[in-house]
Amino acid sequence: MAISLNEFDYLRELVLTHSAIAIESGKEYLAESRLAQLAYVEGQTSVNALLTNMRGKPFGTLHRKVLDAMTNNETWFFRDLHPFEMIKRKVLPELIVSRGTLRRLNIWSAASSSGQEAYSLAMMIEDEFPELRSWTVRILGTDISSAILNRARGGRYTQMEVNRGLPAPLLTRHFRREGLEWVIKDSIRSRVSFEAINLSNPWQAMATMDIIMLRNVLIYFEVPMKKQILARARNVLHPDGYLFLGSAESMMGLDDGFERVEYGKASCYRLRR
Ligand SMILES: C[S@@+](CC[C@H](N)C(=O)[O-])C[C@H]1O[C@@H](n2cnc3c(N)ncnc32)[C@H](O)[C@@H]1O
């Protein structure tokens, strides 16, 4: 049975309220494809029946599973490459000079999904910046989904996932094989911690960040929510810190407090002085 307009509206409202993700009208096919497996596992005859069953019930595990299933978690190691080149060649060398007395760096992968972005940074720091071994370098990965955060904490990836973006020498150096999976070694895993943060809710107090990776998540939000999140990011970013958005995302019309900085084929944002 196809999803009725009522059930689809209920789903859109649920996702908007809890994740701030805006699903466009007419995208019932998206709900069908993302929720079909869950409906089957839950013993429902259709996605429509699953949604009917949830309506009117207090928010619980099933609602959380639906939110997780409706979220795009796509990510990969060293995604888009150029931002990582910019971090390696410009951002970290500059921070190493400016934080030379404090010897502390805070890096935040906001909307970290299954952890590839945070672990990419940890591997880069381990391999390219031996001088940082005596510093306190904290890499924090956060996401709205506790299921995806558990995956990130586990640091276990399929062959297909490590084939996406991870150079072979890094795979052999930083992962060990366990059956069909690749598990990130403790030397890298211990550099990263993961916590649940819903970007659309007020953020808990957090350390001032030197680098914020806020990539490929603002695209799912409506303009007022994008603006709110960027205003919060402005407050958390160190006055000379760096904010990265996704390669298809821009600050245009959203926040005048940031200015764009380019390096090679990459760009990021810094607080306007
Ligand atoms: C497409 S992935 C991007 C992952 C990574 N940043 C990257 O660029 O590869 C989007 C992530 O945003 C998370 N997300 C969606 N809504 C969120 C919210 N309101 N707060 C925090 N994370 C959210 C999803 O769970 C998902 O893991």
Summarize pLDDT for 118-161 with one digit per residue, the tens. 999 999 999 999 999 999 999 999 999 999 999 999 999 999 99
Pull the structure tokens for residue 4.
Answer: 């009725």
Which atom in ligand 1 lies closest to the alpha carbon of residue 76?
A: 9
Fold of 5-70: Chemotaxis Receptor Methyltransferase Cher; domain 1 (1.10.155)
Yes or no: say if 216 and 246 are a contact pair by the CB < 8 Å rule: yes
Among 116, 217, 225, say which to mutate for ligand 1: greatest number of ligand atoms within 8 Å of CB: 217
Question: What is the sign of the dihedral through the CA atoms of 263, 267, 270 and 272?
Answer: positive
198 lines ligand 1 (CB under 6 A): yes
Average pLDDT of the segment spanning 86-92 = 98
The dihedrals phi and psi of 112, each to the nearest 5 degrees, come to -75, -15
In tens, the pLDDT along 42-64 reads 999 999 999 999 998 999 999 99
Question: For residue 273, what pLDDT band results from cuts at 50, 70 and 90?
Answer: confident
Yes or no: say if 87 and 95 are a contact pair by the CB < 8 Å rule: no
Average pLDDT of the segment spanning 260-265 = 96
**10 Å Cβ neighbour count for 188?**
23
Q: Taking 90 as the threshold, does the pLDDT of residue 1 lie above it?
A: no
Give the total residue count for the chain. 273
In tens, the pLDDT along 150-192 reads 999 999 999 999 999 999 999 999 999 999 999 999 999 999 9
Question: What is the sign of the dihedral through the CA atoms of 113, 116, 121 and 125?
Answer: positive
The dihedrals phi and psi of 62, each to the nearest 5 degrees, come to -65, -40
28 lines ligand 1 (CB under 6 A): no
Q: What is the dihedral of CA 253, 238, 184, 150, to 10 degrees?
A: -70
Question: For residue 88, what pLDDT band results from cuts at 50, 70 and 90?
Answer: very high
In tens, the pLDDT along 190-210 reads 999 999 999 999 998 999 999
Pull the structure tokens for residue 88.
Answer: 């390696």
Q: Where in the chain is the domain with CATH 3.40.50.150?
A: 82-271
Question: For residue 82, what pLDDT band results from cuts at 50, 70 and 90?
Answer: very high
228 lines ligand 1 (CB under 6 A): no
In tens, the pLDDT along 208-230 reads 999 999 999 999 999 999 999 99
For all residues of the chain together, what is the average pLDDT?
96
Instruction: Determine the distance separating the centroid of ligand 1 and the alpha carbon of 79, expressed in angstroms.
Output: 14
SS3 sequence of 60-108? CHHHHHHHHHHCCCCCCCCCCCHHHHHHHHHHHHHHHHHCCCCCEEEEE
The CATH superfamily holding the domain 82-271 is Vaccinia Virus protein VP39 (3.40.50.150)
DSSP 271: E
Among 108, 140, 143, say which to mutate for ligand 1: greatest number of ligand atoms within 8 Å of CB: 143
Q: Where in the chain is the domain with CATH 1.10.155?
A: 5-70
pLDDT at 38: 96
Task: Please give the Cα distance from 243 to 72 (Å, whole number).
Answer: 22
Task: Please give the Cα distance from 245 to 220 (Å, whole number).
Answer: 13
Instruction: Determine the distance separating the centroid of ligand 1 and the alpha carbon of 257, expressed in angstroms.
Output: 23
Rg of the chain (C-alpha set): 20
Task: Please give the Cα distance from 102 to 191 (Å, whole number).
Answer: 18
Q: Whose CA is nearest to atom 12 of ligand 1?
A: 111
Pull the structure tokens for residue 66.
Answer: 């639906």
